[in-house]
Structure 1
């Protein structure tokens, strides 16, 4: 009793007090990806020092929960606390990257090479060695990352200038005099069977005349000898 009379016994009067609440520091639950980027709104918990708190793991579209950093449950203190929920991003198939191999006219000179991967993954395309062509340039990004869009990387080549080797019996380089205008190339055997030219015919005529004279003289001599024998 707070008031009363003394007795022969000791008495105790106890005054009981309740402690005034002390606001504790906030507890903040953060939701981030593996790079620390925020992927969902923070959740802030408030309470008095000594009160219990609980934080929750969220289901976030496109992400898979990996781990929690800090105390998911505990008590408020006079200091602010942070609980971090970490998520990994679900892979998203990216658009294909197609390496094309063309000449300067845009005509295909080798098979395409198609690369596939997830959005954000790195890609690399390669320059080919193509027989009969020299590499000129690449149009687009030879290396990069996959996106949600298809990408094309053209490799452009110039054609080699090759002088063709002459074929056997190919007279395409023969002089013009042996080509058209009705003229023909005459072989050696054909030349032997042709008539002699002007100079040759004159020589033969002279030989014929001399032979004729000898024949006449021989005839005259034979006649004279015969007559002499008859006499």
Structure 2
């Protein structure tokens, strides 16, 4: 590309020189000048084509970059954030709530007896089940700054900035009820015969004596209690 631009400069310089020196007198000079101008026009068109191609390639690269960026953040099955990106957002929201001295709440959600569901209905049905549950979680968690993520396997996590324990508990109970109301048949669930979830909640104002990992562990402990108490319930 540099050689093309160099040739453009040379052609233009020669054309201007012919005009300034007032040497365009004979038919031969006119022909020379016309040739220089035509060559310049041809080079200019070539430059335009290269620029257009460059723009097209640039646009395609930007599209690919955006796609790669999205793919690095989104869980391919459920179309919600993946665990890696959730951890990034958690750190960001943690710092924000620490500065504003606001509550930050976490819901840890686990599909009850999901291994049995896969064993009975197959993994394709299991995938469909997880998709429906993730969609229902998104339907309930509607605040723009709330964050929904697949945390691993049949486990989901919700991060709720500026939310105390009561607000988090209300959201968790709505989630539990709505997923139960989906009525997804689950013969492997002896008690309920439908797909249900257990939810653990943890809430705190971030400070230097508490870490994001500790808050997640507290939510995970609460989830463990919910499962031990019979599943399909919310625990603090």
Q: State the TM bucket, normalised to the shorter chain.
A: under 0.3
TM-score (norm 2): 0.17
Structure with the greater relative contact order (CA < 8 A, sep ≥ 6): 1 or 2? 2
TM-score (norm 1): 0.17
**Higher Rg:** 1
Task: Name whichever structure is richer in helix by fraction.
Answer: 2
Task: Name whichever structure is richer in strand by fraction.
Answer: 1
